[in-house]
């Protein structure tokens, strides 16, 4: 999954969301208490994610929020489960 974040210490931190974010390569002590959301939740492939960026130093990280289930796979699973709970009663 490609990212818009460029991790470098050769350029100053920069937020040009949604095109590019320049971030320091490592977090600092301020990052634990000063992270803020950048942009909206984004869906790519089977994942939803968003970027978090430190308001003090500019360190940015992409946070995976949740996987997106495969609808075709879920449909097949539901059908298999429905069949497994049907009870075959013999005729006497």
Which tens digits make up the pLDDT trace of 65-74?
Answer: 999 988 888 8
Residue 15 phi, psi (nearest 5):
-110, 105
pLDDT at 91: 63
Distance, CA of 92 to CA of 84 (rounded, Å):
22
Alpha helices (H) along 24-90: 71-84
pTM recorded for the entire structure? 0.74
Cis ω for the linkage preceding 18 (within 30 of 0): yes
Please state which of the ranges 32-36, 72-76, 84-88 shows the lowest mean pLDDT.
Answer: 84-88
Contact 2, 20 (CB under 8 A): no
Q: Where are the domains of the chain?
A: 5-84
pLDDT score, position 27? 96
The position carrying tokens 């050769």 is 10
């Amino acid at each position: 999954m490609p990212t818009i974040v460029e991790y470098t210490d050769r350029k100053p931190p920069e937020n040009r969301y949604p095109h590019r974010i320049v971030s320091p390569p490592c977090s600092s002590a301020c990052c634990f208490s000063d992270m803020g959301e950048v942009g909206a939740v984004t869906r790519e492939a089977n994942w939803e994610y968003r970027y978090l960026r430190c308001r003090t130093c500019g360190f940015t990280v992409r946070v995976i929020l949740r996987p997106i289930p495969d609808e075709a796979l879920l449909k097949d699973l539901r059908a298999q489960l429905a069949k497994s709970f049907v009870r075959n009663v013999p005729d006497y």
